[in-house]
A and B are shown apart, each in its own frame.
Chain A
């Protein structure tokens, strides 16, 4: 069976400016987080996936076909980053109109159901012009899911949502992934992506930095030194003791804390545990276990 979305050595230039370069990946069923800083090429990638842009080189395929074919495009649900609507329309009318445009049967019923799923039942019949940013985001999201699309392209879907809204949308995205749909969610906020999925595509300056689960990506980084912060009563004595340990590449003292650059963290933690009481060690904190540190490291590389 063809994957929901497939990029095969895709590059895209805007005149002389490179948007994305030689990107290949696949999105099968489930949720994949597209992570990158502002300007990394996320929106370009999503536009290519949606058939809104042509690839300069390479091929983009959605369920085996070109996303520019109308029949293929009908299988894609999009939550774009655009925050303007026909402001005089109500939320329900707008989603209904968009579904009719897409040729979806029972458009009004499905629009209502989607908006209700996003807790918009009380506001769906007021004009969009009076909506908050969070409500606008929900309306866009409702449009993406109401047509029961097989591939969902979600560009920063949590933008502007309050904590309850974020929780609901995260849960909904996860449910969509579990139900067998292919979902690509972009964000520049690492915590957001971590909340939604464990499967990632990291891009930077138009190139793929890493792909796979968070755990896999971390494994790819085992070669590098990790940063571990130590707090202790006898900082000087501790430093003198661990500098000679195997796998410790260096030490820095920062604001009364010791930061060790360590290659083998397991061995290092064992060592610190065994000598901890001698030097009054009160805290051992890995500084780069989070996704943010992984991302920063990959970007620097």
Chain B
């Protein structure tokens, strides 16, 4: 009971604190750049098939590989580390709730805020993309428009779980998060598929989900096939397997965060 009460109150409060902060405006501006880039590029091309492929490329390249990890990691780390830096975390620690409800409440809040910000940006991109061009109205295939929903809903909590683990464990967790996003995710995520190491990244599962949801006949999907199969002729990892990988990664990070953060002292250079 105390766990659920703490989880809900911390989730709602943190969501409000994060969403109505100046940081949200910063990330919305980043999403605006993506939407503007999509509109600009699509306004330069003609037929519908190119539009679908370009839209998918831009969405995967800028949004899911850039904005998703950055936003989710930033908010999940910030939700915890800002409170530790301000020492307001003490008011949560001395309440009769388990610490797991604090970490999970903050992780869920960061996930929800990330999803909201990215969906606002994505809605803006779709709005602009369907209104540019000579006749002011290019159509994008329904499957292309719907492709990002699942990756964002699954990817945000996974990144938030990694961010929560880093925030709980590392004092300089923003730096650790940047190293994770730029180093681990991009570097390991780009290794050949046959090695299987890519499955240790969130981005690989997000890309796989995205791949399975875009227009089958499009060039984008064909271009991604080599990547998805590791250059072999075998089948690409299916979306269910990618989802399972994300679940494992998320679960391991959450479990480690709860264990490492269960009794850690965040407020103790003995100061008086």
Contacts and interface: CB of A to CB of B under 8 A. Distances in A.
Interface in B71-115: 86-88, 90-98
Contacts of B269: 14
A85 B86 CA distance: 8
Interface in B227-272: 263, 265, 267-272
A299 interface: no
A82 to B, nearest CB: 4
B223 interface: no
Interface string B1-21: 110011001100100010010
Interface in A156-183: none
Nearest to B2: A70
A97 B13 contact: yes
Consensus secondary structure, chain B interface: loop
A71 B2 CA distance: 10
Interface in A200-246: none
A82 B93 contact: no
Contacts of A97: 9, 13
B97 A85 contact: no
Contact of A70 (B87, B98, B263, B272): B98
A4 interface: no
B32 to A, nearest CB: 25
A217 B88 CA distance: 37
Contacts of A74: 96
Interface in B150-203: none
Contacts of A14: 268-270
A207 B246 CA distance: 51
B272 A80 contact: no
Nearest to B12: A97
Contacts of B20: 88
A84 B88 contact: yes
Given A38-B272, A101-B9, A103-B2, A84 B86 contact: yes
A88 B93 CA distance: 20
A138 to B, nearest CB: 15
A97 B95 CA distance: 11
A207 to B, nearest CB: 14
A interface residue count range (under 10 / 10 to 19 / 20 to 34 / 35 or more): 35 or more
A19 to B, nearest CB: 5
A17 interface: yes
Contacts of A188: 272
Nearest to A71: B96
A167 to B, nearest CB: 25
B270 A39 contact: yes
Contacts of B272: 38-43, 81, 188
A52 B95 contact: no
A166 B228 CA distance: 69
Contacts of B96: 70-71, 73-74, 102-103
Interface of A: 14, 17, 19, 38-44, 47, 50-54, 70-71, 73-74, 76, 78, 80-82, 84-86, 88, 97-98, 100-103, 143, 188
Given A76-B94, A97-B9, 14 more contacts: A47-B268, A50-B94, A52-B90, A52-B265, A53-B268, A80-B90, A80-B94, A82-B91, A84-B86, A98-B91, A100-B5, A101-B97, A143-B91, A188-B272
19 contacts: A14-B269, A43-B270, A43-B271, A43-B272, A47-B267, A47-B268, A53-B265, A70-B2, A70-B97, A71-B96, A73-B96, A85-B91, A86-B17, A88-B20, A101-B5, A101-B6, A101-B10, A101-B92, A102-B96
> What are the nearest 9 A-B pairs in CB distance?
A74-B96, A73-B96, A84-B86, A82-B87, A70-B96, A101-B95, A43-B272, A38-B272, A78-B94
